């Protein structure tokens, strides 16, 4: 991802659209020398030109800036492809249904990549009627805390904001939830399959009969 449209992106899109530097220049009302400068990194197009450039390439300004053209217009249809972004300055949490160019406090935020839970970020999940009770075994001090928990299904995201000195826990409607995410302000994003979280509830849990029963019940519940 780029902070601003780069020469490489302009060149790539121009060639893809089978336009010469001269043809693009004419569309934008600039000289072909100007286009050449952009493409060789000797200058950037003025911000007032972003919309005309995007138009010339038949893409959106967001696509132009991010350098990613969106091939599947229906990408937002599945929430399981959700992205989370967190601003390192203010802690702002942004959820997006797909890739996006998101800026906060002048920083282009990168979509967070979730890690599997580790021994310092253990999650305990219990099924209470139609809800998952999720608790994360973690400190909740001002300097090191869990700042949000989210339960994601194919068509919904339940997001719970947490605060220092509060409890690292929450309740989520089970309906279709396939993934639990939580974010530690120091260690980043973690995710777990809720069924696995239930398995982890008791240490040394390895009763295969009980386990298979649990997985079967979870499978029915999740519609697998």
Closest approach, Cβ 168 to Fe ion, in A, equals: 10
User: Does residue 114 bind Fe ion (CB under 5 A)?
Assistant: no
Of 12, 99, 187, 200, the residue at the interface with Fe ion (CB under 5 A) is: 187
The helix-helix angle for 32-39 and 21-28 (nearest 10°) equals 110
* Phi–psi pair at 49, nearest 5 degrees: -95, -5
User: For Fe ion, which stretch binds (CB under 5 A), given 4-12, 30-38, 100-108, 176-184?
Assistant: 176-184
Closest approach, Cβ 114 to Fe ion, in A, equals: 14
Of 56, 184, 195, 218, the residue at the interface with Fe ion (CB under 5 A) is: 184
Instruction: Give the Cα-Cα-Cα angle 86, 91, 92 (nearest 5 degrees).
Output: 65
Q: Which of residues 42-101 bind Fe ion (CB under 5 A)?
A: none
User: For Fe ion, which stretch binds (CB under 5 A), given 25-33, 36-44, 186-194, 200-208?
Assistant: 186-194
Q: Where are the alpha helices (DSSP H) in 40-135?
A: 50-56, 61-66
Closest approach, Cβ 112 to Fe ion, in A, equals: 14
Nearest residue to 184 via CA among 224, 221, 144 = 144
Give the binding-site size for Fe ion (rule: CB under 5 A).
Answer: 3
Edge-to-edge strands of the sheet including 131-137? 122-128, 131-137, 169-173
The helix-helix angle for 7-16 and 32-39 (nearest 10°) equals 120
User: For Fe ion, which stretch binds (CB under 5 A), given 1-9, 111-119, 185-193, 205-213?
Assistant: 185-193
What is the rounded CA–CA span in Å between residue 101 and residue 125?
Answer: 33
- Using the minimum distance from each CB to Fe ion, give the nearer residue, 151 or 184: 184
Closest approach, Cβ 169 to Fe ion, in A, equals: 15
Closest approach, Cβ 37 to Fe ion, in A, equals: 47
- Using the minimum distance from each CB to Fe ion, give the nearer residue, 187 or 200: 187
Identify the burial level of 216 via C-beta atoms within 10 angstroms of its C-beta, where 0-12 means exposed, 13-18 middle and 19 or more buried. Answer: exposed
- Using the minimum distance from each CB to Fe ion, give the nearer residue, 18 or 186: 186
Closest approach, Cβ 137 to Fe ion, in A, equals: 10
Q: Which are the contacts of 172, defined by CB distance < 8 A and separation ≥ 6?
A: 131, 132, 134, 149, 151, 158, 160, 180
Closest residue to Fe ion, judged by C-beta, is 184
User: For Fe ion, which stretch binds (CB under 5 A), given 14-22, 43-51, 67-75, 180-188?
Assistant: 180-188
Residues that bind Fe ion (CB under 5 A): 184, 186-187
């Amino acid at each position: 991802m780029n902070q601003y449209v780069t020469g490489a992106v302009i060149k790539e899109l121009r060639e893809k659209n089978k336009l010469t530097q001269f043809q693009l220049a004419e569309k934008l009302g600039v000289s072909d020398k100007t286009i050449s400068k952009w493409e060789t990194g000797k200058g950037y197009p003025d911000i007032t030109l972003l919309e005309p450039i995007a138009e010339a390439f038949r893409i959106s300004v967001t696509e132009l800036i991010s350098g990613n053209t969106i091939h599947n217009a229906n990408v937002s249809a599945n929430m399981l492809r959700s992205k989370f972004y967190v601003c390192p300055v203010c802690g702002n949490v942004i959820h997006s249904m797909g890739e996006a160019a998101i800026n906060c406090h002048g920083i282009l935020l990168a979509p967070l990549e979730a890690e599997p839970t580790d021994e310092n970020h253990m999650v305990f999940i219990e099924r209470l009627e139609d809800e998952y009770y999720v608790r994360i075994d973690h400190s909740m001090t001002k300097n090191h805390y869990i700042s949000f928990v989210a339960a994601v299904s194919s068509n919904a995201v339940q997001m719970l904001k947490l605060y220092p000195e509060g409890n690292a826990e929450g309740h989520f409607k089970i309906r279709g939830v396939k993934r639990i995410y939580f974010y530690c302000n120091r260690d980043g994003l973690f995710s777990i399959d809720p069924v696995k979280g239930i398995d982890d509830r008791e240490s040394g849990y390895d009763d295969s009969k009980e386990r298979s029963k649990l997985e079967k019940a979870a499978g029915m519940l999740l519609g697998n």
